[in-house]
């Protein structure tokens, strides 16, 4: 064999080996590395929020108990009033006339009693001496008793008239804030007219609703055999006001309606919050937040999840490749993670980033 042929053959062999190494290296670089996470159980607190409307512990309509004209208004809209404080003065001519008549009737009845007693005192000695008959004495005594009864009736009418005239002063039945005052001085009013409202807001009620499915889940997670026991064991709730600030005091669920609203398919709840500083007012709105504690929750980052055809999907690592897994999740309050409720188990490994470059069955290397 000539030397030139030998050199040519060795060169060709080296070229083939070099090409093979390049091919092998190229195949290795196709396997891209991805960050992964092994799922483990953790403690977490989830929250759910519901729109809420606020009402005072008592929202009382203030109505006059007699007919008449508004003679004075002692308060203004939004005023804080105390129980028994005067709100309005009603000018009621009929009540004043009734009081005058009742006083006159007392005078007449007292005169009748005095006259009847004089007759009895005059006739009794005569009857005892036999000068007049016993029938005449009995008649005088009956007249005296009738006069006493008439006086008692007149006194009762006077008390009623005095009570009625007392209604001309309209007072607040509770501590609270005054609402709108639609009528002004001189307005003719009767028991059908609402003069204003007084909202007792020492405590405030927050009303919110859950749908039927949420309600069943909520009750099933509470301890207790009856609904009353479960309400006692319900977690404390928080209130976020309409401006986004969180109310500093926690509330407690107090009542749950006994039936599902057939129109809305929802169940109504009432939570009570302390309101010693009167920061909350009847008619305000907000959001109720209910916490749920989970002891062994499977937590994954939200960036590891993508949605396709209304399904939440992740790439699970199996061996040296990935497979698509459909999962159910709940968001955590921080907005960065999910709690997996189905589709994955503890110790499963998933890809946590770069999922847009993956496909089902693709081989990967893990970091």
**Fold classified for 49-56+200-293:** Elongation Factor Tu (Ef-tu); domain 3 (2.40.30)
Helix axes 134-166, 93-128, angle to 10 degrees: 160
What are the average pLDDT values for consecutive 10-residue runs of the chain, which has 367 residues? 48 48 50 91 90 90 94 93 94 91 94 93 87 87 93 94 92 91 93 92 92 88 88 93 94 89 89 90 92 88 92 93 93 89 93 92 87
Spatial neighbors of 259 by CB under 8 A, at least 6 apart, are 267
Spatial neighbors of 75 by CB under 8 A, at least 6 apart, are 81, 85, 87, 178, 181, 196
Does CATH number 2.40.420.20 belong to domain 33-44+295-366? yes
Residue extents of the structural domains in the chain: 33-44+295-366, 49-56+200-293, 67-89+169-194, 93-166
The CATH number of the structural domain formed by 93-166 is: 1.10.287.470
CA angle 319, 324, 325 (to 5 degrees): 100
The CATH number of the structural domain formed by 67-89+169-194 is: 2.40.50.100
Q: Provide the 3-class DSSP secondary structure of residue 288.
A: strand
The number of residues making up the chain comes to: 367
Spatial neighbors of 346 by CB under 8 A, at least 6 apart, are 39, 40, 41, 296, 298
- Name the β-bridge partners of 196: 62
Specify the DSSP element, H or E, that contains 162: helix 134-166
Cα distance between residue 241 and residue 239, in whole Å: 6
Write down the pLDDT at residue 27: 46
Write down the pLDDT at residue 257: 86
Rounded to the nearest 5°, which phi and psi values hold at 157? -65, -35
């Amino acid at each position: 064999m000539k030397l030139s042929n030998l050199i040519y053959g060795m060169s060709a062999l080296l070229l083939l080996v070099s090409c093979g190494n390049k091919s092998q290296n190229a195949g290795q670089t196709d396997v891209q590395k991805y960050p992964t996470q092994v799922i483990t159980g953790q403690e977490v607190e989830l929250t759910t929020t519901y729109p809420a409307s606020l009402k005072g512990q008592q929202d009382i309509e203030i109505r006059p108990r007699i007919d008449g004209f508004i003679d004075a208004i002692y308060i203004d809209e939004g005023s804080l009033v105390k129980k028994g404080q005067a709100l309005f003065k009603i000018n009621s001519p009929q009540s004043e006339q009734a009081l005058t008549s009742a006083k006159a009737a007392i005078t007449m009845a007292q005169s009748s009693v005095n006259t009847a007693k004089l007759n009895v005192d005059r006739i009794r000695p005569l009857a005892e001496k036999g000068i007049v008959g016993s029938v005449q004495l009995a008649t005088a005594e009956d007249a005296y008793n009738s006069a006493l009864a008439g006086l008692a009736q007149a006194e009762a009418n006077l008390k009623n008239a005095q009570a009625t005239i007392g209604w001309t002063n309209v007072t607040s039945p509770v501590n609270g804030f005054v609402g709108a005052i639609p009528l002004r001085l001189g307005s003719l009013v009767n028991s059908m007219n609402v003069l204003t409202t007084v909202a007792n807001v020492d405590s405030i009620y927050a009303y919110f609703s859950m749908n039927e499915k949420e309600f069943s889940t909520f009750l099933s997670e509470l301890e207790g055999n009856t609904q009353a026991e479960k309400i006692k064991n319900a977690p404390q709730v928080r209130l976020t006001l309409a401006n986004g600030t969180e109310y500093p005091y926690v509330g407690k669920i107090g009542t749950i309606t006994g039936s599902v609203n057939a129109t809305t398919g929802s169940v109504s709840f009432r939570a009570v919050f302390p309101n010693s500083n009167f920061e909350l007012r009847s008619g305000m709105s907000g959001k109720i937040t209910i916490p749920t504690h989970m002891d062994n929750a499977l937590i994954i980052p939200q960036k590891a999840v993508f949605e396709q055809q209304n399904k939440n999907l992740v790439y699970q690592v199996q061996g040296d490749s990935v497979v698509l897994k459909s999962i159910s999740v709940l968001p955590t309050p921080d907005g960065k993670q999910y709690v997996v409720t189905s589709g994955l188990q503890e110790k499963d490994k998933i890809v946590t980033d770069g999922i847009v470059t993956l496909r089902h069955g693709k081989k990967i290397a893990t970091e």
